[in-house]
């Protein structure tokens, strides 16, 4: 039965991870459908950030709700919302509708990973649990790597990008049946083995009536009715939403940020500070890491944040560069990105082996330094990419970021006690996804502003009585737009390289080989 549970959990996690990055390949196609011209691609970025915002906001909160109401009902609810979001996205003919559909998908998809990890905590004891968690993690990473390629293949094979989301409906139906058959019903209960206790770090008090944590400070309903940190979840979602809204500029011709940018960013920072204050003092927390050394932990999460930002910036803007500068269709452009995506898992395996010999800190710092070198190579790409070998920069960047994945996860586990490993693992994922969300929003704001400033004096040619003259003017205009896009992309890769250098410096503050909580 546990094998069926693992297969069903891995399947739903894989489905959500595929859809997290599936739009990267077809952003240009979606922009045509919703009426966004290629020189105004800043207006299509909410399709990417909307999913990530929902994903991050829902991940910790819905995981807690599954503690209270049971894993199977929450997984089924998330699958239903995921299917609804797929339908809304497929039917969308405006940016607002497509973004709303993607946000619904993100809310549902963000909950599936922590609920599946918690389910493994319910059914596997401490000795066997890492193998099962590794399988779920592999499904998550596989979906992340294959998402852009999957989107390109489906769009090409079935004729339109909408089919990427229509095909989710039968996949969700199959996943729902598997979950219904395999996942136990009811709320999590203790098994009598403290290692397999679904509360993880909870134990029963001498009276046997209530569970208490190891410090004896917080109590939990024995019926599984654990309190849910709705306030913390709401504060986190509000802070992220304000930051993303402040960074989104639909008219970047005049400035990097819109008129409302700095006020919303300041308010988002304030709400984030309130969230931290609440999490320190609240008896119920989204991410409870009490007793953990905060310095090494925050440094490790910061590295995960930087890695996430570099990952998504690469996925989005290499794909756009291949389609707009090289003139490639979606699938061929995703094959250009495949150089980067294939280097990631290969280097991730190498990073785990190297970290055992050299230590997590050294391998993480070296990986980000290698990644920065790859991005600096990419920032030197010439205008005519079709005639230039672009493999080297993509492979170096992908290999460098891949080296970071395993040592960051290992380091954050070494800064926490065994009872907090599940929470710490979720924190790494949340930090990386936040890096994707904030990083791509911030770098995109700068890049789109640069593009608009470079093309501010261009006038779109209008048809005249002389077709040859019109064709000549249109060719000149297209060449100037292409040159501006080239400057935009290469400068964004340069900024990403600098970001990786900062991440390498931050990695030096990660825990050394032997660090105890």
Residue 377 lies in a domain: yes
Determine, yes or no, domain membership for 85.
Answer: yes
Which residues, including other chains, have CB under 8 Å from residue 143's CB and lie 6 or more apart? 13, 14, 15, 16, 17, 18, 20
Residue that terminates a domain, selected from 155, 185, 215: 185
Indicate if 172 and 309 belong to the same structural domain.
no
434 and 321 within one domain: yes
Indicate if 373 and 506 belong to the same structural domain.
yes
**Paired strand residues for 212:** 203, 219
Query: Which residue blocks in 421-466 are alpha helix, DSSP H?
Result: 421-454
The residue out of 185, 217, 250 marking a domain boundary is 185
pLDDT digits (tens, 9 = 90+) for 257-298: 888 888 999 999 999 899 888 877 877 776 666 666 778 888
Residue 374 has pLDDT above 60, yes or no: yes
- Look at residue 220 and give its three-state secondary structure: strand
pTM for the predicted model, two decimal places: 0.75
Q: What is the pLDDT of residue 389?
A: 79
pLDDT digits (tens, 9 = 90+) for 331-344: 788 888 888 988 88
Same domain, 245 and 321: no
412: CATH: 1.20.1250.20
Same structural domain, 108 and 251? no
- Decide which of 463 and 175 is more confident: 175
Tell whether 379 is covered by a domain: yes
* Domain co-membership, 306 together with 251: no
278 and 306 together in one domain: no
Instruction: For residue 404, give the nearest of 356, 340, 361 by alpha carbon.
Output: 361
Whether 100 shows a pLDDT value over 70: the answer reads yes
313 and 261 together in one domain: no
242 and 320, same domain (yes or no): no
Question: What's residue 369's pLDDT?
Answer: 97
Q: How far, in Å, CA of 339 to CA of 316, rounded?
A: 14
Residue 74 within a domain: yes
Residue 381 lies in a domain: yes
Q: What is the pLDDT of residues 179-204, one digit of tens each?
A: 888 877 765 554 433 333 433 334 33
Domain total of the chain = 3
Q: Is 367 left (phi over 0), alpha (psi -120 to 50) or beta?
A: alpha
Higher-confidence residue of 309 and 149: namely: 309
In a domain, 153, yes or no: yes
Q: Kindly tell me if the per-residue pLDDT of 432 is higher than 90.
A: no
Least confident of 206-210, 248-252, 313-317: 206-210
Nearest to 151 by CA among 378, 11, 314, 338: 338
pLDDT digits (tens, 9 = 90+) for 464-505: 667 788 788 888 888 888 899 899 999 999 999 999 999 999
Q: Give the distance, in angstroms, between the CA of residue 155 and the centroid of all CA atoms in the same chain.
A: 22
Does residue 224 belong to any structural domain of this protein? no
Pair 240, 355 in one domain = no
Cβ atoms of residues 444 and 45 within 8 Å: yes
Last residue of a domain, one of 185, 217, 237: 185
Instruction: Report whether pLDDT(50) > 70.
Output: yes
The C-alpha angle 355, 356, 359, rounded to 5 degrees, equals 50
pLDDT given at position 372:
97
121 & 259 share domain: no
Domain of 245, in residue numbers = 229-283
pLDDT digits (tens, 9 = 90+) for 198-216: 333 343 333 333 344 433 3
Q: Is residue 123 part of a domain?
A: yes
For tokens 């134990």, the residue is 203
| Interstrand relation of 203-204 and 211-212 (parallel, antiparallel or unpaired) | antiparallel
Same domain assignment for residues 277 and 303: no
CA distance 71 to 115: 6
């Amino acid at each position: 039965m546990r094998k069926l549970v693992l297969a069903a959990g891995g399947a739903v996690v894989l489905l959500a991870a595929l859809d997290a990055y599936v739009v990267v390949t077809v952003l240009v196609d979606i922009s045509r459908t919703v009426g966004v011209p290629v020189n105004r691609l800043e207006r299509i970025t909410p399709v990417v950030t909307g999913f990530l915002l929902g994903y991050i906001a829902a991940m910790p909160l819905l995981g807690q709700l599954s503690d209270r109401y049971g894993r199977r009902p929450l997984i089924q609810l998330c699958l239903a919302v995921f299917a609804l979001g797929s339908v809304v996205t497929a039917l969308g003919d405006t940016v607002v509708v497509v973004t709303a559909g993607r946000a619904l998908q993100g809310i549902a998809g963000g909950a599936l990973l922590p609920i599946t990890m918690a389910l493994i905590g319910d059914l596997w004891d401490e000795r066997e649990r890492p193998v099962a968690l590794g399988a779920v993690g592999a499904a998550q990473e596989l979906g992340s790597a294959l998402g852009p390629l999957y989107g390109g293949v489906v769009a090409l094979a079935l004729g339109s990008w909408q089919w990427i989301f229509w095909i989710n409906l039968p996949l969700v139906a199959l996943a729902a049946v598997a979950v219904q058959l395999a996942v136990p019903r009811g709320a999590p209960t203790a098994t009598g083995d403290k290692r397999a206790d679904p509360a993880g770090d909870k134990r029963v008090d001498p009276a046997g009536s209530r569970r208490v944590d190891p410090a004896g400070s917080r109590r939990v309903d024995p019926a599984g009715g654990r309190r849910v940190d709705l306030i913390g979840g709401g504060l986190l979602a509000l802070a992220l939403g304000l930051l993303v809204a402040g960074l989104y500029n639909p008219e970047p011709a005049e400035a990097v940020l819109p008129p409302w940018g700095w006020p919303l960013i300041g308010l988002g920072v304030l709400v984030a500070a309130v969230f931290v204050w609440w999490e320190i003092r609240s008896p119920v927390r989204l991410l409870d890491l009490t007793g953990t050394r905060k310095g090494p932990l925050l440094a490790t999460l910061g590295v995960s944040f930087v890695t996430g930002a570099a990952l998504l910036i690469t996925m989005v803007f290499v794909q756009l560069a291949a389609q707009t500068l090289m003139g490639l269709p979606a699938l061929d452009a995703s094959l250009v990105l495949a150089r980067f995506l294939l280097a990631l898992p290969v280097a991730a395996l190498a990073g785990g082996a190297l970290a055992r010999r050299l230590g997590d800190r050294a391998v993480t710092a070296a990986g980000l330094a290698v990644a920065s070198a790859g991005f600096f190579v990419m920032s030197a790409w010439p205008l005519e990419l079709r005639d230039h070998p672009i493999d080297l920069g993509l492979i170096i960047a992908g290999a460098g970021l891949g080296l970071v994945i395993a040592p960051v996860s290992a380091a954050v586990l070494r800064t926490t006690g065994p009872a907090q490993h599940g929470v710490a693992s979720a924190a790494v994922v949340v930090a990386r996804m936040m890096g994707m969300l904030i990083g791509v929003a911030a770098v995109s704001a700068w890049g789109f502003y640069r593009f608009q400033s470079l093309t501010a004096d261009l006038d779109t040619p209008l048809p005249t009585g002389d077709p040859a003259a019109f064709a000549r003017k249109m060719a000149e205009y297209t060449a100037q737009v292409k040159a501006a896009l080239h400057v935009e992309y290469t400068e964004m890769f340069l900024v990403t390289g600098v970001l990786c250098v900062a991440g390498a410096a931050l990695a030096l503050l990660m825990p050394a080989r032997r660090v105890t909580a």
